[in-house]
Amino acid sequence: MAGDSTRTTIWRCELCDYKTDRRSNFKRHQETGIHQNVACFQTSRQVVNDVFDVPCSKQTFDMSSDQLICSDDEDTDCLYGNECPDRDCENEKLVEDNEEKTGKWFPFSSKIEFYLYVLMNSTTHPVSDEVVKFVIHILKQCGVEGIPSLNTVKRRKFGTFDWNDFLLQGMDGDSVPMWIVRPSSVAKLAIAHPDFSKSLVRFPKYNTLDGYNHPSCGGKWRNDLTFHSAAIQEDQQILFFKDEICSFEVNGSKQLGMIYTFVENVQAGEKEAIVCLIQQLTTDTQNNTSGRAFEITEEKENVPLKYLKKFPVDERDTFFRPAGPLNLEELGVNNDSRTPIVTLPLNIFLDDTSTHRSKRWLALHCIQMQLSGVPMSQRHKDKNIHFIGASEKVDIMKLTELAVADIKECQKETFISYDAHNKQECVIKCPVDVIVADNNVVSLCCNHLGASAVKYCPRCHIILVQATSETFDDIIQLRTPEETKRTVSRLNLRSKEGDKAKLRKETGIKENFNCLWDIVDPHKDIPVGLLHLIPLGLAKHLLIQIVRQMDEKRIKEMGCHLQSLTPQLGTDFFKYIESRQGKDFKNYLQVAPFNLVYAGAEGPFIRLTCTLALIQKQLNMKSINNEELGELRGNIQKFHELICDHLPNFARKLKTHLLLHIIDDIERHGPPTAYDEDSFEKNHGRIRDQIFLQNQKARSRDTASKYAQHMLCHHVVTGGYFKHGESWKQASATTVHAGCDPVVESFLGWKDEPSRDPGTILRFNRNQHGRKETYPFNEETFGHQIEKEYEDQTFYRGKSMVALSKEVVNSGDWVEYTKCNDERSYGVFSEGIEFSMSSHACIIKAEKLQTYDQQLGCSLLQLTTSCEYVKASTVQRQCSIIHDCKGGHCRMRYKVAPRKVEQQKLSKKQLVFVHNDEHKIYMLNHFKL
């Protein structure tokens, strides 16, 4: 261990609060009875009793726990792998091997170490090192045995997986250091986890019934990403590789082909290879020593993998393409020993947030990622959103450059991981699928001047003065990477600032540093984000424009009516409308047409709002087929026409124009919900919380380190594989079972919402003893609507139930349900009835009228007084039904209403909205997401 001989080492025993500058005194202290009684964990004592040759060093070393103690003058929270002293690796490995062979808490040495490790690695409930130290102190004082030291837990590694190896350090042009978590390390852990590996979408999909229901259905996966290998489903040992020469039969005749890529035929349920057909030019004979010649054509054909056979390629064979001959090295030459290659496309999120609370805003540049192959049902869960890096000291593109360097290295080098689903080692490749960013960051990624430029679109050449009704029906010439890079080169060649400014104005291009050109096409692969396009863009601008034209009285009426529709928005929504969050505008737009109709807004504004609400609903669908894509295109065109006719100043807004590019994004990258910003944005608060638990002296490093530890913790305790010796192992069943404990999952932020079976009755009526109240079967109550087989049984009543959509429906909620002929019906859920073998729902029926609301086009319903008992399993979902307040002449009144303030119930006279109960007409809200 390298040291500084000018400074004396302090030997410290934390267990006994003893320290000395003499090693002999420290060893004598270890032999005392006091120390032996306190030092309860035998494993660490075995390491202590070994002989260490430790010279003087700047750091102090705790021999009793094999722990390095930071000096008082250290600037940061902890020391990392490359700063740790060399230890007796053979002894340490021997101890670990013994623990792994005998301990049921593998890879941990004990139960207490497992729970301390969990305590330190939560991102939703972050705990500082001082808190963990005090917990350890409490446990020691209570006589708990086997307590590891803090640094032993912090530096815990599992086989070859060490969180220090997950970090990548870099510097910007001013030598300012920065740290990130390697994207390739995230991908390594993901494919080695059984849950993720099993659900991962690995190949482009086609022939789907739902159209675009995943990024794998888009053109980027099919045409631009490289998928290197695939195995036959029945036999994972038979591997085929890209550019490999194979044979197959077509209509009884043998055909040759070179594998171009791999796809998944959804309807057939099998993997296929897209092969380029090959024609043989010469025949190999005994007199022909030059071998065979083949031509690789541009004609392609889909062939199921099970019909492919490997074609033996001779060294004398020659393969030609239209561009010229190919070397055998360029072909996937048959080799059964080759390792399978798994392609894991990435989504990268770039954004700025603030590092200060109640102070001036300071940009914290943040990078997160998600694997693009995650199923749609899992994409918005916290465990599938991964932190990469954050820094307020360096430019965001410099921080991105560090992540890009790791991605490029992963593409070129051999990064080995373990495919937990197929139970075999694999090589991973991590191309970038999309970049998710707001308009400011998009300008940096595309070398674009921004929304204030004359050519204000980062994706096409539309000019500000041309943004009229004539240009809304078509997209001006698209930008290309070659053209943009050529313009940047021209800017760099100009010496005068005036010449540069003129060229920037003409092209809309600026010459900022950009590291993305080698891995993506920023003009195509940064799709329009839903959050900034509609809620924080068009919806916000439109609503502010409408509210500004209304007087104070009407705004008050709108706020009061809005509270009756969505209480969470409150009556003050319009008072602070310019400072509302995106989720507020997203929720309001779903009821805005009804609110504006009641307030008597002008017709054009109502039509604009209705059209925008429909666009928002269509863009938030999880799958979009070709018919729905045509409807979306029509609504966008209608919205643009209304803008040109009634709000011409909106025609020149960038976000109005970006609606045109949405269609291209869906066709290339799948549904917008697959890459929306919401999942990434909600992590900003947690990232800031990590910063405020540090000493603020190395934010980038300490934050990246904490997330690397958390990532490794999640992988190990939930059953992920890690390489131990020559084999890949999982944690013991005891450890995985403890990691899946709901209390542990909740603390670590992994717990999913409880899943209940559809048709389950909840919130039962209970007697004074807390037991469920029983009721006898009464034919008069049910009126022959429930089978007589239940007449000898008792039943329970409940105020809630679980619909088929897994939503919890409460008494008084509107629901959609089906009858025996699959007819769609609507009504108000009253109560749930549970018998011993089945459950029913009591629903107050609503009749669907033949007319529609003229302004909104919504279906009209009339609520009746008759009840209907249906099977609970036929209740489909909770639906949004809005009372016809304008037709019912509903009014505002001052009324004493209860409310909660500081958890205290208060009654106060306030202005509330009172519905006319005599008016039973309701409207079906088809703007609801």
Look up tokens 């309701």; give the residue.
922
Q: Is residue 918 part of a domain?
A: no
Does the CA dihedral 787-791-794-796 come out positive or negative? positive
> Over 80: is that where the pLDDT of 207 sits?
no
Last residue of a domain, one of 336, 371, 387: 336
- Of 678, 352, 435, which is closest to residue 534 (Cα–Cα)? 678
> Over 90: is that where the pLDDT of 722 sits?
yes
Between 96 and 672, where is the model more confident? 672
What is residue 330's predicted lDDT score, i.e. its pLDDT? 60
| Domain total of the chain | 6
DSSP assignment of 73-104, as one string?
Answer: T--SS---GGGSPP--HHHHHHHHHHHHHH-T
Is the domain of 572 the same as that of 492?
A: no
Q: What is the pLDDT of residues 673-720, one digit of tens each?
A: 999 888 888 888 788 777 766 767 788 888 899 899 999 999 999 999
Is the domain of 600 the same as that of 708?
A: no
Last residue of a domain, one of 288, 306, 336: 336
DSSP assignment of 445-480, as one string?
Answer: HTTB--TTSSS--SSB---GGG-STTTTTS---B--
Q: Is residue 73 part of a domain?
A: yes
What is residue 181's predicted lDDT score, i.e. its pLDDT? 95
Q: Give Dmax (Cα) for the chain.
A: 106
Q: Is residue 407 part of a domain?
A: yes
As a whole number of Å, the end-to-end CA separation of the chain is 62
What is residue 401's predicted lDDT score, i.e. its pLDDT? 94
Domain residue limits at 172:
163-199+344-434+686-748
Last residue of a domain, one of 307, 336, 365: 336
Is the domain of 323 the same as that of 373?
A: no
Q: Is residue 693 part of a domain?
A: yes
Residue 613's contacts (CB-CB under 8 Å, 6 or more residues apart) are 589, 590, 592, 593, 927
Q: Is residue 205 part of a domain?
A: no
Is the domain of 784 the same as that of 819?
A: yes
Is the domain of 621 the same as that of 723?
A: no
- Give the pTM: 0.82
Q: What is the pLDDT of residues 423-449, one digit of tens each?
A: 999 999 999 999 999 888 999 999 999
What is residue 332's predicted lDDT score, i.e. its pLDDT? 55
What is residue 683's predicted lDDT score, i.e. its pLDDT? 82
DSSP alpha helices (H): ranges in 494-529?
A: 497-507
Give how far Cα 256 sits from Cα of 123, 260, 308, 319, Å. Answer: 54, 13, 10, 12
Is the domain of 585 the same as that of 608?
A: yes
Q: Tell me what percent of the chain is helix, strand and coil, each rounded to the nearest 5.
A: 35, 25, 40
> Over 50: is that where the pLDDT of 287 sits?
no
Is the domain of 744 the same as that of 769?
A: no
Is the domain of 739 the same as that of 629?
A: no
Q: Is residue 500 part of a domain?
A: yes
Is the domain of 794 the same as that of 867?
A: yes
Q: Can you tell me the mean pLDDT for 539-544? A: 94
Residue 82's contacts (CB-CB under 8 Å, 6 or more residues apart) are 164
> Over 50: is that where the pLDDT of 736 sits?
yes
What angle do helix axes 183-191 and 699-717 make, rounded to 10 degrees? 10
Q: What is the pLDDT of residues 27-39, one digit of tens each?
A: 778 877 667 666 6
What is residue 696's predicted lDDT score, i.e. its pLDDT? 72
Q: Is residue 838 part of a domain?
A: yes
Is the domain of 658 the same as that of 535?
A: yes
Q: Is residue 657 part of a domain?
A: yes
The CATH number for 329's domain is: 2.30.30
Instruction: Return the H-helix or E-strand segment holding 546.
Output: helix 539-548
Polymer length in residues for the chain: 929
% of the chain exceeding 90 in pLDDT = 39
The CATH number for 843's domain is: 2.30.30.490
What is residue 437's predicted lDDT score, i.e. its pLDDT? 92
What is residue 335's predicted lDDT score, i.e. its pLDDT? 52
> Over 60: is that where the pLDDT of 577 sits?
yes
Q: How far is Cα 182 from Cα 417, in angstroms, rounded to an integer?
A: 14
What is residue 519's predicted lDDT score, i.e. its pLDDT? 93
Q: Can you tell me the mean pLDDT for 459-464? A: 85
Q: Can you tell me the mean pLDDT for 406-410? A: 93
What is residue 47's predicted lDDT score, i.e. its pLDDT? 32
Is the domain of 108 the same as that of 170?
A: no
Is the domain of 658 the same as that of 730?
A: no
Q: What is the pLDDT of residues 314-371, one digit of tens each?
A: 777 788 877 666 766 666 554 555 789 999 999 999 988 765 554 556 678 899 999 9
Mean pLDDT in the chain? Answer: 83
